[in-house]
Amino acid sequence: MLWFDKQAGEAAKFYTSVFKDGKIISTQTLTDTPSGTVEVLDIEILGQRFTLMSAGPLFKFNEAISFQVFCDSQEEVDYYWEKMSAVPESEQCGWLKDKFGVSWQIIPTKMTELLSDPDPKKAQATTQAMLQMKKLDLAKLQEAHDQA
């Protein structure tokens, strides 16, 4: 459940346009709630169902919650980064914030393998390279790993 002030409908359209398999499943309008009229939408992206709700400015998103998007290629990382990054000052180590304030981690799938290398020098070199990045660069992560 993602609680928005008034943007749940806009967010649903945005997310389902960014994620190629995205779809809006249902839309409901609830009246006479403590928040007034509330819009509730169910969407599906990356095979996961999310409920988005416009229920007023009571809560704000923060970095304590983020969604991970695992990517098979640098092109895929670049695609999601270009479509979703809206707050450049919040970017770090593959994390971005979208125009609604929701945090996402855009991660090359291969990075998990590099960070899990049984050779601690290789894993540490990969970690140090990652810590210097905003958007993750798979080629540079691989290079740091291989040169350790």
CATH numbers and ranges of domains, the chain: 1-57 (3.10.180.10), 61-148 (3.10.180.10)
Angle between helices 74-84 and 138-147 (to 10 degrees): 130
Query: For the whole model, what pTM was predicted?
Result: 0.93
Q: What percent of the chain has pLDDT over 70?
A: 100
pLDDT over threshold 90, residue 147: yes
Residue 98 CA to residue 123 CA, distance in Å, equals 29
100 contacts 62 by C-beta, under 8 angstroms: no
Q: How far is CA 131 from CA 15, 55, 95, 108, 127, in A?
A: 27, 37, 11, 15, 6
Q: How are beta strands 95-97 and 2-4 bridged, if at all?
A: unpaired
